[in-house]
Structure 1
Amino acid sequence: KFAAVLVPLFEDPASGEVHVVLNQRSSKLNTHSGEVCFPGGKRDPADADDIATALREAQEELSLDPAAVRVVACLPPFLSKHLLSVTPVVGVIPPHLRFSPNPSEARGEETVFTVPLRRFLEAGPGYSSKDVEWQPGVPYRLHYFDYVHRGTSYCIWGLTAGMLIVIAEIAFGRTPDFQPNPPN
């Protein structure tokens, strides 16, 4: 099975920093409830490619006009814990876009927020990791980033955090302040 996510980036006009747009899924959803993620989902038969999937899902979930997105890269796919091949589609958006989560998609509880991209290279307060066995004999390092946005605390972890670390490494041309992978 195949999926794609849109990684919407913009430059904050006030600080000049690159931010990423994330959303927290409704706690009422059956899968991944309450988790922080990118807009995205499984490929539909009508989708021409990963870009089409990511843009369609972002429009459905956040009312993001595909014409407002300048796609700059498609990264190699990441394999989810459910063996779903997920392609990150990186896009640049205008800094002052307003997002309105679709009530039928979000079930009324979805939250959209932004985080400075550099945060995913920093090992300071709010960062932790845990080594787990992804498959028998295959170690995987889970990363956790706690982030407070407008008084609300969010935890960005798992596949989303893993993707953001790689994207931040590429964007800033440096490795993180922590070991991204487990030993061996």
Structure 2
Amino acid sequence: MSDPLAPLLAALARESASSSDFDLNPGVVLPEGRKLRPAGVLMPVQVIDGVAQVLLTKRASHLKHHPGQIAFPGGKQEESDADVTAAALREAHEEIGLPEDAVQVLGVLPTHETVTSFTVTPVIGLIERDFTITPEQGEVEEVFRVPLGHVTDKANFSVQGRRWLGQRRHYYTVPFGPYYIWGATARILRGLAERMSA
């Protein structure tokens, strides 16, 4: 029986460029000297019945920023965090109840710059034991799993657009069932998909 994590581990060993929310919008001119804040997100991977699954969150609908969007658990690096990996693990514990000692960090993906001026480091973590998913009620509406194979298959992605700050902005989407995965989350997954198909 093949290792469900083998394609992921092979992808992590490959090189690729960083990404941004502006990749599909070449006309956007970013301000010189802009200050980006470091952040970390965790892509929690769990093998269930021989299938690699990714845990994602649906953000609470009342939030000021990105309400209802699909996201990896994560957030900005605090002074108390040793690095962005520590920030990602801390936030995953706070947002979905994932104990830090239940995660084996497999590696990181290239950074992703967001429209909200964060430079996000995606951390890939293998969940090594069962835990009770506990959504942080003030921030997370739902936690769900999606097969890793679905969100790393380039055929499942499309480019869509909407008006943003008076201009048409394009972005990747990778829908799954009732979940509309787009924006930074979809762009990070698209980057992983490209590495896995290299």
CA contact under 8 A between 2:103 and 2:126: conserved in structure 1?
A: yes
Gaps of at least 5 residues in structure 2 are 1-36
Matched residues, percent identical? 38
- Which 5+ residue runs of structure 1 have no aligned equivalent? 176-184
| Residue aligned with 1:52, SS | helix
Report the AA paired with residue 164 of structure 1. Answer: L
Equivalent residue, structure 2, for 1:118: 149
SS in 1 for 2:179: strand
C-alpha separation in 1, matches of 2:80 and 2:48: 35
Distance in 1 (alpha carbons) for counterparts of 2:110 and 2:173: 22
Provide closer, same or farther for how the CA distance between residues 87 and 35 of structure 1 changes in structure 2, counting only shifts above 3 A.
Answer: same
Letter in 2 for 1:156: I
The normalised TM-score by structure 2 is 0.72
* Structure 1 equivalent of residue 107 of structure 2: 73
Give the alignment partner of residue 158 of structure 1, picking from 160, 164, 183: 183
Residue of structure 1 equivalent to 2:131: 97
Equivalent residue number for residue 57 of structure 1: 91
Q: Secondary structure at the match of 2:106?
A: strand
Give the paired residue count: 159
Conserved 8 A contact 1:117-1:164: no
SS at structure 1 position matched to 2:174: strand
8 Å CA contact retained: 2:38, 2:76: yes
Which position in structure 2 is the counterpart of 1:29? 63
The aligned amino acid for 2:121 is: T
Q: Does the 8 Å contact 1:11/1:95 carry over to 2?
A: no
Which of residues 173, 189, 195 is equivalent to 1:144? 173
Deviation (angstroms), 1:76: 1.9
Please report the RMSD computed on the Cα atoms of aligned residues, expressed in angstroms: 2.4
CA shift, 1:4, in A, is: 0.5
User: Within 5 A, what are the aligned runs for 1:34-49?
Assistant: 34-49=68-83
